[in-house]
A and B are shown apart, each in its own frame.
Chain A
Amino acid sequence: MRKQSGVSMILIVLLAFTLLAAACGEDTSETTAAPATTTTASSAEPLKFGMILVGPQNDRGWSQAHFEAGQYLEEQLGAEMIVLDKVNSADLPDKTVDQVAQDMINRGAQLVFLTSDDMRDGALLAAELNPTVPMIWSSGDSAWAEGEAPAPFDNLGNIMGRMEFGKMIAGCAAGLTTQTGSIAYLGPLINDETRRLVNSAFLGASYCWENYRGETTPLEFTVNWIGFWFNIPGFTLDPTQVANGFLDAGADVIISGIDTTEALDVAGQAADAGESVWALPYDFDGACELKPEICLGVPYFNWGPAYLEVAQSVIDGTFTATWQWNGPDWTDLNNKETTAIGFVKGDGLSADNASTLDQFIAGLADGSINPLVGPLNYQDGSTYLADGETATDQQIWYTKQLLEGVTGPSE
């Protein structure tokens, strides 16, 4: 008797679930199937693309910059974006990056942007399993034939901005402003990219500290890493605590290298308490708005133009997987239709320093200033660039250590 009833219970639950599935499935089939059939019906149908973000889409940082680039495509092309944010193993434990890409493709995405360094493995797997769907793994190097780890997928391209310039400018603003001669860099995780950007900020800061201010004592430049692109409680260091630690140790400018805005928040609270401190957030052009009066400026990515070009090539059927490392539009750093990276000055930057910063930017633009020329040594004393040697793309991209003069771990 009891055995029978046990079996029937299971059957009833399964039946109930199936009925529910069937009932609801009918509802959704109308809404989801409709666009799918029209996609094939006419080529004038708007492009559907997927956008996978590692953090929240409103983080006022890295992820928001990508999200807004997606909105830019919607405006420019009438395209339709399928977006999922917070795609990382802590926030989304039951989907992997490649599964999310698969979901988007199954929902009709003809192009997928995987927008984090952390998505490398998922991007490679998704590209392998869907060889006909164009994808972009942003900030990656898988399509760089001369890179260290080229991947054999014709459908996976990479886009990155030459943020080393943005970080040099940010570093210069910090070097011009600091009163204590001590600058801190709030680092995310450690890899080639983040070492590259720390070194760039350090070079910019040192250049302006020495050349415009005529200082002879070396600048103190400290980096501390939280362990990921943003705070994951229990798994990374808390960026708020790390930033507070910087101020306690005597730094008065914090340059942020993480996806979110804790550096500016912490500096803002200290400034409210009467301290003379400043910060430079990162990634997103609107990041200063949270605390403009102590913000020296923000180096940001403008993914729109490059993403637009890729989307257009998918529409035209001419997509090829390339590795792009796009520079700033030196004629107008903040031209949203042309530049890949930009810099917005903050209200915290004095008028004098702002005009000095313009000189620095002009020097970078015409090539008269290039901080990435030797002699430069790595932290362990080994040669990074010999005397007079100009860094190649490979040397800049694959930065193996922090530079001599930077305090903090290289790996």
Chain B
Amino acid sequence: MSWMRPLGRVLIPIVGAMAFAILLLLLAGANPFEALGLLVEGSVGSAANLSDTLTAWVTMVLAAAGLVVTFRAGLWNIGVEGQVIAGSIAAAFAARTIEGPVAVMIILTMLAGLIGGGLWGLLAGTLRVYGKVNEIFGGLGLTFVATSLTTYLIIGPWKKAGVASTGGTDPFPRDSWLPTIGTLRVSIVAVIVAALAVVAVYFMMRGTRFGLRLKAVGQNLRSAVLFGIPNKRYLLLAFIIGGALAGLAGTIRVTGFHHKLVPTPSGAHGYLGILIVLLAGFQAKWIAPIAFFFAAIAVGASQLPLQMEVDSSLGGILRGVLVLFVLLFGGWQARRAGARLVADAAPPVVPATPGGEG
């Protein structure tokens, strides 16, 4: 029954969170089953809802895929949020300054996002590798910088003519929007890109020299050196790849969702990516379904206040509860794993970083 444990790892916090959510809904005087029904219906119940959920799923998946690479290298790339934002800024720059047909703009904005996010990752990596700044602090600091830069651009150089509002920039020209079909909001291009990214990361970590060496670096920095792996270069590469995928997520947030730069372009999808990867046990194959669950909650929850007399914050609370349960269970599991010290068939790296178990 080798699949029981991983399945439990995913299902136990979800079921626990759901039970707690039902309790909360009862306390709020709402019918929990109607609420959960709406949540499901609002996320997958119609083509339009499923399309909105997939739109959120795409960016969560991309951020998470990038995180698999950095986590496997033993890095707590908390700065992923800033890398998503950097990707959004870079893609917005391309969309605002370059004119071209849709196909060209898709490629250019995505390239811009890859570069923007990759550079932001490289910054955190440089701080870590050469500046001895722990990547958690470096990443958080860089996220703060990216956020401030976004606000500055929106209210400064990129503001609408005669307007100073943090609401957002002017919409991009239509040629820079990811193409959609009918009134559905999801872009097939985005879904394909996300799926390809997961598959690529899966095979890269599993079957390539690079992936195996990266894992070696992640497992034990010192012995990797003894084996002749240039660990600095590998750490930096992990940051660049992770950041680039996050930047791609940032691109799709602005070209496929907001269609402009807003102060919060990522919508915390970078942070959600961290939770998804934790829940996935750092394995690429689990990202897609777990991200789908998070996307469904995020999108479906907006239906609750539409249909029921509940406060619109409830969706956020549900998500918070879920996160809490994931962390609690993840921490408990990490402790158990630490106590056992059994080499699993495919051991998830438990990055040895201070405070990491939280």
A-side interface residues toward B, CB under 8 Å? 1-2, 5-6, 8-10, 12-14, 16-17, 20-21, 24-25, 27-29, 31-32, 82-86, 88-90, 92-96, 98-100, 102-104, 106-107, 117-118, 121, 125, 129-130, 189-192, 225, 227-228, 232, 234-236, 400, 409, 411
Instruction: Give the complex CA separation of A38 and B44 in angstroms.
Output: 24
B residues less than 8 Å from A102 (CB atoms): 48, 183, 185
- The answer on a CB contact under 8 Å between A235 and B263 is yes
**Nearest Cβ in chain A — how far from B192, in angstroms?**
19
B298, A94: Cβ atoms closer than 8 Å:
yes
Can you pick out 11 interface pairs between chain A and chain B where the beta carbons lie within 8 Å of each other? A28-B45, A84-B305, A86-B312, A93-B267, A94-B267, A94-B302, A102-B185, A103-B42, A106-B46, A118-B167, A189-B166
Q: Is the CB of A411 within 8 A of B162?
A: yes
Q: Is residue B165 within 8 Å, beta carbon to beta carbon, of the partner chain?
A: yes
Q: Is the CB of A103 within 8 A of B167?
A: no
Q: With A20-B40, A99-B185, A235-B166 given, is the CB distance from A94 to B299 under 8 Å? A: yes
User: Could you say which of B2, B52, B165, B266 contacts A118, with CB atoms under 8 Å apart?
Assistant: B165
- B157-194: CB near A (< 8 Å → 1, else 0) gives 00000111111100100000000000101000000000
Give chain B residues whose Cβ lies under 8 Å from the Cβ of A99.
52, 185
* Per-residue A-contact encoding for B309-336, CB less than 8 Å = 1, 0 else: 0001100000000000000000000000
Chain B interfacial positions (CB closer than 8 Å to A): 2-3, 6-7, 10-11, 33-34, 36-42, 44-46, 48-49, 52, 56, 147, 151, 155, 162-168, 171, 183, 185, 257-260, 262-264, 266-269, 285-286, 288-289, 292-293, 295, 298-299, 302-303, 305-307, 312-313, 345-346
- Complex contact B37–A25 (CB within 8 A): yes
**Are A228 and B44 in contact (CB-based, < 8 A)?**
no
Closest Cβ neighbor of A58 among chain B residues:
B311
Is the beta-carbon distance between A189 and B165 smaller than 8 angstroms? yes
Contact check: which of A25, A88, A400 meets B45 at CB < 8 Å?
A25
| A13 interface neighbour in B46, B268, B289, B312, Cβ under 8 Å | B289
Contact B165 A191 (CB under 8 A): yes
Q: Does the CB pair A95–B299 fall under 8 Å?
A: yes
Q: Tell me the bound Cα distance from A27 to B263 in angstroms.
A: 39
- Residues of B near A32 (CB, < 8 A) are 41, 307
Q: Which residue from B11, B41, B183, B305 sits with its C-beta under 8 Å from A24?
A: B41
Max count, chain B CB within 10 A of own CB: residue among A10, A90, A96, A100: A96
Q: Are A191 and B163 in contact (CB under 8 A)?
A: yes
